[in-house]
Structure 1
Amino acid sequence: MNLVDKKVTHKRFGTGSIVHHDESRIEIDFGEENKTFFFPDAFEKHLVLHDESAAHSLEELIKEKESERIEEELQKEEEKEHLRKQQELRAEHEKLMKNHKLHPQSQLVFWCDPEEKKLAFSKWKVFSGEIKSGKNKGKPNKPSRLHQNSAVLLTERDSDTPEKDRKVLGVFMVDEEFIGKQSEDGIVPAHSLYRIQLTEQESAKMNFWKYYANEKNPDKMTWNTGKYRYFDNASMAQILRDIVSLKSDPEEKELAQQFFEHFCKMNQIMEQELPEPDGALLQ
């Protein structure tokens, strides 16, 4: 809209002529001096445009600006409400974390079949399975020990190979907001950053039983039943440390190192005091 040279009347300064305007300011020559006003706001209270056609176009512009202003205010209110809810959830989450005591075995190792393997690395989440008996039969298992300090180790064993050949496929920290005992669907989502998939060559060098041993039968390598089992925090740290050594690509190695350091911090593990692996394979 070009309003230059259009005549206007101001309640106090009288009649003048528009000499310049842009999206936010308008300058008017009132004869003795020029005055600058906010545009188009000044036309709602102080200025009257003489040209009827231009005045009509200006009125439409003012309505459009008002609609935009109202929409912006509504959006700000929605963002404010969203932020408030986020802060409430975070406060509640921090309260839970404050009362959370680290369990020495709060890590999860998951047995992936071919379909679960695809899901794990495409969607970065696993399903903890269903309860097999009792009054809650058929309902999802709650991985109750999993918390912000927990990681999920993804493993597989081919049907034609012995259990001792179980290999590590990858690993991820659980999502920052995940609390296992509050999980109703049994889905364990991955952290947005701390997630690693091993290549076939790398996986072949990472045998799960090098790190894990059953307390009652430390020299036996048996899985028995179920999709997952818990294991101790130090063993997971050993696995992450070895993954760092395994990686050759600089970016992947840096991520693995950050993952390892974050895990140790969350589980109050001193890297220098971490022992060497002592799993069933080494007994």
Structure 2
Amino acid sequence: MNLINEEITHKTFGEGDIVDQNESSITINFNEGEKKFVYPDAFGKFITLKDRDTAKSLKKVISKRETEKKELEKKREEEKERQALEQQRRKKLKNYKVHESSQIVFWLDEEEQQNVFTDWQVSAGKVQSGKNKGEPNRPARLRPNSASLLTARTSEKPETERQILGLYMVNETFTGTLSEDGMVPAHAQFRIELTDQEAEKMLFWNYYIDKNYSHRMTWNSGKYRYFDNVWTVQILKDIIALKTAEDEIKEAESFLKYFCKMNAVDMDDIPEPNGALKQ
């Protein structure tokens, strides 16, 4: 806004004319000489424009600048907070070694299949034997770097038809050994739900393999198994290739990037899936 030649009144120096202006300052000529002031901060505090219309326009300019300044300060605070959280995350990662199989795969019953994509948490079940029988399971390997893979099969289908229904990163503050109720909660952001049609193409045994019995495809008991970090990357890559909606592709790509970062995995150095179904 050009204010040169505008008449003003200063609380101390009296009347004057604006003779020069740039983005951060104005120069005013008073009877006793020229003086420089910070622009636009000096207006409203020490300097008043005589022309009311110009003063009104300047007020809008100042208001806009103040809004932009507040937004910038807010972004700076958010960035500081993000950096602080990142430092906390790195500190946590230093306190434990990333296990090569620190992911978990769940066998969902019918009730869980109906609720999991609403509640976004899964129970690890109960301890089946020993002195802690009946108490909630504590999936000890799970940390903030872990993902929960959600699978199911209908009773009339063979185990080879077990489908992947979705997956999520665990809550960023979750530690399996400290879990009191055995529930594994989801991260607020990194969650993927597959459609029925997509799940039909995502068979669990295309990725999972018992390294001692490569052709065996059985899940006779147990609510969950631990899952290989590399297999999780393979699944995420296949989900990205499967998705058609641009927003869902971006969400899956963001999930993959976060997962690889948390698990120190190079997403470009991952072999093709070689599960039991591919043997």
Question: Which TM-score band applies after superposition, normalised by the shorter structure?
Answer: 0.5 to 0.7
Return the match for 2:266 from 270, 273, 280.
270
Give 1 or 2 for the bigger CA radius of gyration.
1
The answer on 1:186 being equivalent to 2:205 is: no
Alignment partner, residue 237 of structure 2: 241
1:147 corresponds to: 143
Give 3-state SS (helix, strand or coil) of 2:268's partner. Answer: helix
Residue 90 of structure 1 and its aligned partner are, at CA, apart by: 10
CA distance in 2, matches of 1:191, 1:93: 14
Task: Tell me the residue number matched to 1:251.
Answer: 247
Gaps of 5+ in 2: 1-83
Identify the residue that residue 224 of structure 1 maps to in structure 2.
220
What letter is aligned with 1:275? P
Which segment is superposed worse, 158-167 or 111-120?
A: 111-120
Structure 2 SS opposite 1:204? helix
**1:135 aligned partner:** 131
2:101 is aligned with 1:105: yes
Q: How far did 1:97 drift? A: 3.1
From 206, 209, 212, the equivalent of 1:210 is: 206
SS at match of 2:226: strand
Q: CA deviation at 1:92?
A: 8.2
Deviation digits for residues 234-278 of structure 1, max 9, x if unmatched?
001100111011110010110001001111111111111111001
- Map 1:164-203 onto structure 2 (within 5 A): 164-203=160-199
AA matched with 2:155: S
Q: Could you tell me the percent identity over the aligned residues? A: 52
Preserved CA contact (<8 Å) 1:93 1:177: no
CA drift of 1:94 comes to: 6.2
Q: Find the aligned partners of 1:128 and 1:110 in 2 and give their Cα distance.
A: 8
Shift of 1:171: 0.4
Q: Report Cα offsets for 1:51-72 as digits up to 9, x if no partner.
A: xxxxxxxxxxxxxxxxxxxxxx
Distance 1:95 1:271, change over 3 A: closer
Gaps of 5+ in 1: 1-86
Residue 177 of structure 2 aligns to which amino acid in structure 1? K
- How many residue pairs were aligned? 196
2: distance between equivalents of 1:169 and 1:202?
8
Residues 41-60 of structure 1 mapped to structure 2, 5 A cutoff: none
Q: Secondary structure at the match of 1:117?
A: helix
Secondary structure in 1 matching 2:125: coil
Q: CA RMSD in A?
A: 1.8
List per-residue Cα deviations over 1:71-124 (Å, max 9, x = no partner): xxxxxxxxxxxxxxxx9x999876543211000000100001110112211100
